[in-house]
Amino acid sequence: MGKVIRFILTILFPYPIIRTIDCFVCHCEHPKGAWQSHKKRQDCFVSLAMTFLIAGFCLSFSIVVWNAHASDNIKVLIVNDTYPKIPAKNEKIEKLGSMRGDLLVMGSRYTGNIDVWKGEGGIYLINELPIEDYVKDVVVAEVGSNWDMEALKAQAVISRTYAVYQKKINGDSIYHIVSSVLNQVYKGNNPNVRVAYAVAETSGEILTFDNRAIEAFYHSTCGGKTENPEDVFGKSYPYLKSVESNCEISPYSTWEKRIEITEIEKALNLSGIKEISIKSYTSTKRVKQLDIINNSGIITINATDLRKALGWSRLPSTNFSVTRDGDSMIFKGKGYGHGVGLCQWGALQMAREGKNYKEILSFFYPGTIIQLYESR
């Protein structure tokens, strides 16, 4: 028995501690009375006590270290075609289990820890991983790896800032952030040397205002001018102001969409639409409200609600004009996304013009300061 105990302890503890354990367990291997042959019985008990104190310290230290690493992790709710739903606010959910390692979902490889939850809406997968690893994968998914290095660094800082902010406000939830455009795009592990370098060069850096992480909104293409947040989110921010940005290199600099009226009716749960006209604009000349004329009269809706109903890619932005052509509505517009904060293609243009990532961030988020998130 003593040999078995010693073998197990050899794996768990260093050699000096094993000698002390030997002193305690050797009586199991000797005839009755051999225990008394030790000259300093009291010393054995003292050593034994010290052993367990050290063991307890080692265990406590391991827990502290694990928690320290966990504090740098982020929990991401995987949202895709396979798992499209997000838990409702008061939805009853239960944890089915956890797994570590690699998980392949719809061609995307997720590493780290995966928690599996079941609720009224179905199965939910939550991927927990270090924030810095998460940032690498977000940058790849959001802008790709072939962009200019300063643009990649700028994206790394705002993706990290956005993640830290979301983790702070959702700390008590089973997840901190969603893997889709509802927050920022994350498609699992996609290692890339250039992106890894950009993330490493900005390691731990976030944008702050009044010594706190900002809500770092960003979007693909502004169409020439970014939007004021109050016209999209109904709230103003001191570090988010409309600025002019050249993003003509974007494939969404201008666009045109033909959408059948029946598709719009289905999206809005309306019938008999005869005409759609613009009722009002935001301060940056984006569409704010639309009047929809149907058999019941005139219905006024927000342009952002129309985008959400049709799909973000179906109607790329609210910077458009609209006319009817037969059974369809023709939308001609500029830009992609809500238009608030950093314009990704505008940031790329600035990088190509020689601006560094700090200058890019200062332009789109005036008044902010770069700090390390460990100390926030």
pLDDT tens across 71-94, in order? 689 999 999 888 889 999 889 999
Q: Could you tell me which residue, 82 or 40, shows the higher pLDDT?
A: 82
Q: How confident is the model at residue 33 (pLDDT cuts 50, 70, 90)?
A: very low
Q: Could you tell me which residue, 8 or 211, shows the higher pLDDT?
A: 211
Q: What is the distance between the alpha carbons of residues 159 and 134, in angstroms, rounded to a whole number?
A: 9
**pLDDT over 90 (residue 40):** no
pLDDT in tens, 321-374: 999 999 999 999 999 999 999 999 999 999 999 999 999 999 999 999 999 987
Q: What is the distance between the alpha carbons of residues 343 and 330, in angstroms, rounded to a whole number?
A: 25
Q: How confident is the model at residue 70 (pLDDT cuts 50, 70, 90)?
A: low
User: What is the pLDDT, as a whole number, of residue 22?
Assistant: 39
User: What is the pLDDT, as a whole number, of residue 71?
Assistant: 67
**pLDDT over 90 (residue 148):** yes
Q: What is the distance between the alpha carbons of residues 81 and 85, in angstroms, rounded to a whole number?
A: 9
**pLDDT over 70 (residue 21):** no
User: What is the pLDDT, as a whole number, of residue 345?
Assistant: 98
**pLDDT over 80 (residue 139):** yes
**pLDDT over 90 (residue 12):** no
pLDDT in tens, 292-320: 999 999 999 999 999 999 999 999 999 99
Q: What is the distance between the alpha carbons of residues 166 and 306, in angstroms, rounded to a whole number?
A: 26
**pLDDT over 70 (residue 135):** yes
Q: How confident is the model at residue 38 (pLDDT cuts 50, 70, 90)?
A: very low
For 175, phi then psi, to 5°, come to: -145, 160
In 187-289, which ranges are continuous DSSP H helix?
193-201, 261-268
Query: Strand order of the sheet with strand 297-302?
Result: 275-281, 287-294, 297-302
Q: How confident is the model at residue 242 (pLDDT cuts 50, 70, 90)?
A: very high
**Core vs surface per residue 122-155: b (16+ CB within 10 A) or e:** eebbbbbbebbbbbbbbbbbbbeeebbebbbbbb
In the chain, which ranges are continuous DSSP H helix?
2-12, 15-25, 41-70, 131-143, 149-169, 193-201, 261-268, 303-310, 344-352, 357-364
Q: Are strands 255-260 and 103-105 parallel, antiparallel or unpaired?
A: unpaired
**What average pLDDT does range 50-68 have in this prediction?**
36
- Helix, strand, or coil here: 274? coil
Out of 47-51, 114-118, 275-279, least confident range: 47-51
pTM summary value: 0.79
Query: Strand order of the sheet with strand 113-119?
Result: 93-100, 113-119, 122-130, 73-77, 177-178
User: What is the pLDDT, as a whole number, of residue 65?
Assistant: 37
Virtual torsion, Cα 15, 17, 20, 26, nearest 10 deg: -60
**pLDDT over 80 (residue 249):** yes
Q: What is the distance between the alpha carbons of residues 338 and 304, in angstroms, rounded to a whole number?
A: 8
Q: How confident is the model at residue 171 (pLDDT cuts 50, 70, 90)?
A: confident
pLDDT in tens, 187-230: 999 999 999 999 999 999 999 999 999 999 999 999 999 999 99
**pLDDT over 70 (residue 36):** no
Q: What is the mean pLDDT of the chain?
A: 84
User: What is the pLDDT, as a whole number, of residue 103?
Assistant: 83
